[in-house]
Structures are given as C-alpha cells and as structure tokens.
Amino acid sequence: MAQPDNKKFFENLTGAGKAIAVLTSGGDAQGMNAAVRAVVRMGIYVGAKVYFVHEGYQGMVDGGDNIKEAKWESVSSMLQVGGTVIGSARCKDFRTHEGRLKAAHNLVKRGITNLCVIGGDGSLTGANLFREEWSGLLAELVQQNLIDEEAAQKYSALHIVGMVGSIDNDFCGTDMTIGTDSALHRIIEVVDAIMTTAQSHQRTFVLEVMGRHCGYLALVSALACGADWVLIPEMPPEDGWEEKMCQKLSAKRAGMKRLNIIIVAEGAIDRNNQPITSEHVKNLVVQCLGFDTRVTILGHVQRGGTPSAFDRILASRMGVEAVLALLETTANTPACVVSLCGNQSVRLPLMECVQMTQQVQKAMDEKRFEEAVRLRGRSFENNLRTYKLLAHRKPESELPHSNYNVAVMNVGAPAAGMNAAVRSAVRVGISEGHKMFAVSDGFEGFYKGQIKEVKWADVGGWTGQGGSLLGTKRTLPAKYIEKIAEQMRKYNINALLVIGGFEALECLLQLNDARSHYEEFCIPLCMLPATISNNVPGTDLSIGADTALNAIVETCDRIKQSASGTKHRVFIIETMGGYCGYLASVGGLAAGADAAYIYEEPFDIRDLQSNVEHLTEKMKTSIQRGLILRNENSNENYTTDFIYQLYSEEGRGVFDCRKNVLGHMQQGGAPSPFDRNFGTKIAAKAMQWITKKLNENYRQGRVFANTEDSACLLGMRRRAMVFQPVVQLKDETDFVHRIPKEQWWLKLRPLMKILAKYKTSYDVSDSGQLEHVALNRPRESEVLAAI
C-alpha cells in the first residue's frame, strides 16, 4: 500500500481577510528589522493585510499614524539595518486598563486580530494579558458605543505570536534570542582589539558587558576569547574568590603571558547577592598584584551595528514561522512564542516560557544558584561547564593519569574555528589525564613524523586565531598508510582526533578500511566537521561556515551600498562551496538576494529568463538594487561571466550589471563568536567520547576498538549533537560531487524566494506542533558527556 502523503504546504494556507500587526517593544536588538521584514512580506504573500505599529505598545495606545498599513516595498533595504526602524518604547500607558482599552479600540477600527510581538519577556507577558482581557475590553467598547455588536462578534478573538528580541539571551525556551549573536560580535571585536594593546603594555583589562539578570553574553564571550576570569549572576564565585582570581592572574603572568582579560556581567553578584562591579574587580587586582589595570564598559555599543548573518537568518526563519502560527491558530490556541532548539524552529506556549524565565530570577534571589543555571537550559549549562573545564587548569597532583596518547590534527582546507577546536581538545585531553600530541600539516606531516607533544600553555590565545595554526593539507593517508602506521607505533598513539572537511571524512574511511591490515588503526577515531562549504554528511553545521557566511553578507552589504543613489543596478556575486550551495543559499537569505544559483537545484535558460523578467519588473517600482548569488560549481555552462552577460543584455535600458568573485576572502579572517563557541564545545565533547572509548576498550596495553562505532563523526543533527559511525555515512554521501545526498538547508531556499516576491512551493510539514517547555534533568553520566 502507498504511504499517505502527510506533507503540508504553505501555499494551501491563506491569509485572505486577515489583518496582522507587527510591533517591536522593549530594548532594541539587531535582527528585529529582519523579523519585521519577514512578517510583512510573508503576510502580504498569503493575502493578509499587514500593519506596522510604530513605537511599540505606545503606538498601539496612541493610534493614529502610529498604525500604518505596510507595503512590500516598505521593508526594502532594512535587512542590514541594526535596531528597529519601526521604533520601540517602554510604555507605562499599556500597563493600565485604560491604555489597553484604547489599544483594543485602535486595533478593532482596523480589523486587526493577529498580533506579532517582537520583544523580551515583559513585552510578551503584556501581550498575553492583552489577549486574556480581549473579550472584556470589546464588551466595554460596545458599552461605550465605540464599536457595535457586529464588530465585537467579528473580532471576538485576538491571536498572539511572540518572537524574542533581546541581546541578553535571557528568555527560557529558546537556545538563542534575536540579537544575541550580533551583540557577541560587538563584544569579541572589542576584546580582540583590546588584546593587542593589553599585550603591548602588559596590562590587565576588566571588561563589563551587558546582562543585568543574565550572564550569557559574559559567559560566551569569555569562552570565545579565552578570558582568565568571568563573573556572572547565575553562578556567583565561591567565598574567597578574590584571592583565587589574583593567584590565577599572577600564575598566568609568571607563565610569560603578557595580558589578562576579566569579563564581568553588569549584574554580577557574590554569594550574598551583593553586586560585584568592574571597578571593584580593578581595585582588587591593583591592590593585590599591582598590575596596570584598565576598565572598559562596552555599554550600548553591544546593541548597535548591523546584525550578523546568524541573526538575520534566525529572525527571517522566526518571522516566517510566526505568520504560519497566526494562520493556523484557533480561538483556543494559547499565545505562543517561536523559538530555536538546536537547528530547529519550534513553537512553545508563551506563558510557560515566561514563567520559567521568572523562576530563574527567583532562584537567584533565593540563592539557589545551581537551580538557576539548570533553569537557564542545556545550552547555558554546557557553556558554563566547558568554560570551567578549559579556563581553570587543575594542579598536576589532581589530574588523573591515563597513560594514553591522543593525537589531534587538521585536514583539508583551513576553516576559521579550527584553532579553537584544537585548543579545546588539547586542554580537555590534558584534564582527562592524557598526553596530547599535535600533528602538523595533516597526514603529509604525519607520515613525515611532524608530531610533537603539546602542553596546556602551548595553545593559549588560539581561540581567536583564523586559519590553521597546526597547518593543514588535503593529502589522504591511503598512499602512505604503512609510514603512518609506523609513526603511530613510534609515538604509541592510542586515539586520533581529525578536524577538517570532506577530506577528513575520506581520511577516516581510509583509516577504518586499513584496520584489517594494521592494528595501529584499531583505536578510537573521531572527526569534527570544519569547512566553510558545510558539505560534510552527518552534520547540519560545520566549524567555519558561520565566519564565511558573515564575510559574504558583509561584502554583499557593501556592494549593495556602493550603488545607493545611482541608477538601477544588479550585482552578480560568485561564492565558494565546491558543489555545495550552502553558502550561496543561506548567504542569499541573509543578504536579501533575489536569486541564488546552486548545483543541487538545477536551472536552465528559462529560469534565468524568468529571473531577469522578475528583476526588470521590480526595478520599475521603487527597488533600485538587485543581488544574484551563484555557487562556483552550480553549472559548467552557465558561468558567472555568462550570467553577467545575459543580465547585462536583457536588462539593457532598465538596469546595468556588475560582477564580483568573492574568492578566498571567504576563508580568511578571525573566527566568528559562533564558530569559536561551536568549535570549543564540539571538541570538548569529542575528547570526552575518546576517553570513554579508551576506558571501555583498553585490553592488555593496546586498544582493539575494531567496532563500527569506534570511528565516528560528531555532528549537529536538528536538535542534538550526535556521534555517527563514518561507515554508515557512506550511503548518505555523493562522493563524486563531495556533498551529502540530503541537505537540511534546501528547505530554506523557498524562504529566500518568497521574501524576494517569487511564487513558489514551500513544505512546512515540520511546523505547526505546539510543544511544551522541557526542563532536562539529565542522568549523572549524561551530565559528563553533555558538552
């Protein structure tokens, strides 16, 4: 029997006759504009009327010109703008019953019964209260003859969907809030700049970052820059922390380190709930150690600037999901919030999230700090655990002694974040009691014997370095397998961690095949995906891809801006990626491209003609600039030059064209905060897996780990980090084109097309399930491995 087709498509949902209002409230956050743009365009696409509410709830209360219908062109050129162009305000009037009555009247006058609120927990709580009071407010309006009974019946239910816009990432139920990644970018840019001046003068810097009630920014920036000490409100330091901190700073200087970085969240407290200020920390260091110490308070710099690629994609996905939720809602559906779990968009009951967020503050007030960290969620817990593991070295006497030698190496092309992964692997390995060895220049260096032991201090300062400090080559091991086995024997290597792209997968498969002839390879083998192309099977994301995306998006922004004030212009931009269209597609979504040509989605001359006609039509309205991305290997005949010439000829008299090949600038640069954090956490988890495998399979002085699951790739799949045997990944891989057979991001391509005003099909089968906030209570064994 044929299986029933349970697929659900967006085009079968209609917004005809519905009116959606979108507002931003509370503190601004980068990416809010991308969310507003997605809501407006998605709403118009399905036939609904969409309204801007300017100045947040204040605009809803005041009415008039504050509530305006939005057009498709209203949101052009706002994707790359920070803050919120429709304004935000903290509104006292909306907290009163009279204020909410006025707001209800203003919405009913325009037939608005669907509200999309982008803000923090206070804004979302206010929206939920408004929804609960709605029927009572309408009854009052009827009583006061401000609306009639027919209107009260017609607009009897108010539907609310929330998106969390907050740089603090202080909302429970979502891994990342809109604006957090961009704020981390601002912090890391400052830290990287400060490190150079601190090193010159042998200074200590105390950096104060935002986070009055949440230490996420402080914690992740400390993890991403390798800070010496971090102070956050959820986990105050133990009594006597002042002395421990000074001892650590002093030890670092004694170890020839020329600078110290201390990161303090603005809401940092001690165990007695007393504030710890950056000035207090500075005075401590000066009095106890006499170090030249400076304080830098980042303040509102963290809120400003253009949104990162991650925030643009997150906000665009959430905006689309919010419109979907509003189309599917019924009178009985509770107000929901669109969240991110792993790599998945989910809908959660708004008040469940708000209540858990409030529980965190209550736990901190009552000095239940372990509980506060747990309530923040698994992501926060993992970050804290990883930071403690990497930042604080245990004395030799406290370290276990395993007698195992573990080698770590890079393979393939360089990717930003590789060095952070190596640093993390080395330090976690040392903490587990292993001897850590670094292999230079990939397998070419391996067979030549370029192997040396690395200590804790050898990888200090590696987190923020781009490229590959170990050196990396594309050489595969098969040709030199005997020499590599000889080196394995010589250095008694008991486990191998390979960090790299598609070549690393091929290497692991070759080493796995060699096990039948060489017992040296019967050891735990683990691979971490690190490639800007994101073309490795078994993982949704790779180390380095986020940095490359940011490079593409920043360049596209500049290129588009170069045409401002000039005549209509279309830019044809070529991206890297081999045969994998990830960079072109996701970069296109983040940069607001009109089309992205990729190998995975074949195109012909008719498609090119259709795109030219579509752009020509758009250029006749107010839109001045067009952006076309092309993956380098998307089609051997329709080259970048061909597409440029075609667009130039067909657009003659309407627009002119320019082309750019981005090239290796996508591969260089300092790693983004996401890649630093991802590389650090994934490597820590890999090392813990290696330790577990070694302890399980150790037999009489050698490891005979000949099982399938002892040669694995660690990747992110949807919501979880998963170890997958490389042998099993063979069937999922197109080895000719070096791409996975199935790629999750292809589902995002219709979003780019819809937001660029193309009619297209969009599979939304994964959407629509209202879930509940799950508070993970992992078993003790899972706690150790949950990094």
Which residue's entry shows tokens 């990396």?
Answer: 472
Angle, nearest 10°, between helix axes 673-697 and 216-225? 70
The answer to whether 194 touches 209, Cβ cutoff 8 Å, is: no
| CA 143 – CA 148 distance, rounded (Å) | 9
Beta bridge partners of 658: 571
Nearest CA-CA partner of 507 in 486, 476, 538, 479:
476
The answer to whether 443 touches 694, Cβ cutoff 8 Å, is: no
Beta bridge partners of 24: 118
The answer to whether 462 touches 454, Cβ cutoff 8 Å, is: no
| CA 666 – CA 556 distance, rounded (Å) | 12
DSSP string, 726-743: HHHHGGGEETTTTEESS-
Active-site position among 168, 311, 441, 675: 168
Active site residue 168: yes
CA dihedral 235, 240, 241, 245 (to 10 degrees): -170
DSSP string, 20-84: EEEEE-SS--TTHHHHHHHHHHHHHHTT-EEEEETTHHHHHHH-GGGEEE--GGGGTT-TT--S-
Under 8 Å CB-to-CB from 399, ≥6 apart: which residues? 430, 431, 433
Q: Parallel, antiparallel, or unpaired: how do β-strands 702-703 and 698-699 relate?
A: antiparallel
Angle, nearest 10°, between helix axes 309-328 and 180-201? 160
Tokens encoding 473? 């080559």
φ and ψ at residue 81, rounded to 5 degrees = -90, 135
Angle at 237 between CA 234 and CA 238, to 5 degrees: 125
| CA 389 – CA 377 distance, rounded (Å) | 19
Catalytic residues: 168
